[in-house]
Amino acid sequence: MNDSLKYKIRWGMKYFLKDNIVLPYRMHTHNKFIPMENSAKLTSDEIRCLKQFWGKDYNQGKKRCYEFYKGTCGVFDEKFIPNDYYFLVECIANKSWSSTFLQHKCCLKYFISEQYRPTTILQGINGYLLDNNDNYLTPNDAIELLCGYESFVYKPSLNTGGGDGVKKINLNETNKKNTQFWKELFSKKDFIIQEIIKQSDEMSSYNPDSVNTIRMLTLNLNNHQTLLSSFIRMGQKGSFTDNVSGNGCLVGINHEGILYPYGLTENYEKILQSPNGYKFERKKFIHYDAIKSTVLKLHTNFPSAALIAWDIALNEANAPIVIEINLGMGRVSTHQILNGPVFGERTLEVMDYIRANIKNYHIGI
């Protein structure tokens, strides 16, 4: 069983246990727990609606999820998707035999043209070192190549989340000559080193210290591509990465490209401005339509992945740059708290697809 599938199973079991056992007390999100105080009791009509909607798959875990969304979002909607079911959708919609390869940051070049990717300096693939043109390098060659840069970004290529292992590295004469520094830098078998993105003025306005990104979730099913949900992620002051788990925040974008008047912290506390003091105030995200068009077009390059979460930066020319794609552990609760039921009008279509394909879904352990 490959590492990517082990990773999915581990997280899937984690979500399943929390949805069906721990959820009476609190809801799992961003690898931490939040209290369930905001949950709202369902009416008898709402429970009857859920039983009809889910049929034999209805259970107390799902009921508690709907109580959470009703209390948090202020509305009941049977189209909200519980975490355990969303994990099942990810596993069936995104083929496990290709997921590891597709998500490997060094392999995105086979599916996404250079204009939409950060500039790569060095690749580590299964312990081999390669330059941007796939020429094999010795460690000394790689060091010589990197010494031509004052700074760069180092990222693990596989099974990462929350910005784990991502580092901005500034080279100086001391670490250039430090053997241990280079040994540690090349210690992982799979990594990528890229030039630092100079982000657009619009993205920099949220927080100039971090490379802020737009998370867009797209669905490509039955030859029809849809943007399901979007939000902007920004890091805290002084942080290079945009991950919310590092005390950053996020703000939702509606389907017209308008920012919501408030953002959310990791624990879903509402805030009215970014770490840099930018007030959200229902402002228009200027390049929303261009980014949306780009990701929907790019999704057609990934026929074995029906559900993709994209992390997109904007460079100084306001061109979208794909930082990475995510095919699992999509944190559906974040999307739904910000933008409502994640599959929207396509909910029944997705459920029909799952019912039709679940018989072909097997996990080998």
According to CATH, the topology of domain 96-107+199-327 is: D-amino Acid Aminotransferase; Chain A, domain 1 (3.30.470)
> Are 253 and 232 contacting, i.e. CB atoms less than 8 angstroms apart?
yes
Res 259: pLDDT: 93
- 295 near 217, Cβ under 8 Å? no
With the CA atoms of 84, 313, 237 and 196 taken in that order, what torsion angle do they form, in degrees rounded to the nearest 10?
120
Q: How many CA atoms lie within 13 A of 136 on its CB side?
A: 3
Give the angle subtended at the CA of 53 by the CAs of 333 and 215, to the nearest 5°. 25
Q: What is the reported pLDDT for 359?
A: 82
Residue 33: predicted pLDDT? 39
| Pairing label, strands 32-35, 151-156 | unpaired
Distances in whole angstroms, Cα of residue 233 to Cα of each of 101, 220, 274: 25, 24, 10
Spans of the chain below 70 pLDDT: 1-37, 161-162, 238-247, 362-365
Contact 309, 324 (CB under 8 A): no
The pLDDT value given to residue 10: 59
Instruction: Output the pLDDT for position 4.
Output: 58
CA 343/CA 228 separation, integer angstroms: 6
User: Hey, CA dihedral for 215, 3, 354, 65, is it positive or negative?
Assistant: negative
3-state secondary structure the chain: CCHHHHHHHHHHHHHHHHHHHHCCCEEEECCEEEECCCCCCCCHHHHHHHHHHHHHHCCHHHHHHHHHHHHHHCCCCCCCCCHHHHHHHHHHHECHHHHHHHHCHHHHHHCCCHHHCCCEEEEEECCEEEECCCCEECHHHHHHHHCCCCEEEEEECCCCCCCCCCEEEECCHHHHCCHHHHHHHCCCCCEEEECCCCECHHHHCCCCCCCCEEEEEEEEECCEEEEEEEEEEECCCCCCCCCHHHCCEEEEECCCCEECCCEECCCCCEECECCCCCECCCCECCCHHHHHHHHHHHHCCCCCECEEEEEEEEECCCCEEEEEEECCCCCHHHHHHHHCCCCHHHHHHHHHHHHHHHHHCCCCC
pLDDT given for residue 19 in this prediction: 44
As a whole number of angstroms, the distance between CA 321 and CA 304 comes to: 22
**Cα distance between residue 339 and residue 76, in whole Å:** 14
Give the C-alpha distances (Å, rounded to integers) separating 228 from 10, 57, 81, 89, 231: 26, 24, 13, 14, 11
Q: Give me the pLDDT at residue 104, please.
A: 95
What are the residue boundaries of the structural domains of the chain, listed by start? 3-80, 96-107+199-327, 119-194
Structure tokens at 120: 């790569």
**In this predicted structure, what is the pLDDT of residue 35?**
47
**Residue 251 in contact with residue 265, Cβ under 8 Å?**
no
In this predicted structure, what is the pLDDT of residue 14?
A: 52
Residue 205 near residue 233 (C-beta atoms within 8 A): no
pLDDT of residue 362: 57
pTM value is 0.86
Structure confidence at residue 320 (pLDDT): 97
